[in-house]
Amino acid sequence: MHFDHARLLAAWKAAGDTTDAAVARRLEINPATAWRLRNGVSRPSSATLARIERAYGITAGELFGGAR
């Protein structure tokens, strides 16, 4: 399943979260995790996906190549 990394970055940018620290605060995750997500080193866990949906309004389906 393809992970749409660019879509995640666009959602972060649209919300004004331009640093790993800002993303980490909003998602309540470790800044190192935010860095790994930002740089495409890892995919979000299911718990982080739920936080992304609440914080940025982007669904897991949208991030994994589903509906827009």
Contacts from 59-62 at CB under 8 Å and sequence distance 24+?
62/4, 62/7
Q: Which residues, including other chains, have CB under 8 Å from residue 66's CB and lie 6 or more apart? A: 59, 60
More confident residue, 41 or 68: 41
pLDDT range class, residue 2, cuts 50, 70, 90 = confident
Q: How many CA atoms within 13 Å lie on the side-chain side of 26?
A: 21
pTM: 0.87
Write the CATH number for 46. Answer: 1.10.260
* 28 within a domain of the structure (yes/no): yes
* 15 within a domain of the structure (yes/no): yes
List, in sequence order, the alpha helices (H) in 1-68.
5-14, 20-27, 31-38, 46-56, 60-63
Q: Is the pLDDT of residue 15 over 90?
A: yes
* 51 within a domain of the structure (yes/no): yes
Q: Number of structural domains, the chain?
A: 1
Range of the domain at 41: 5-63
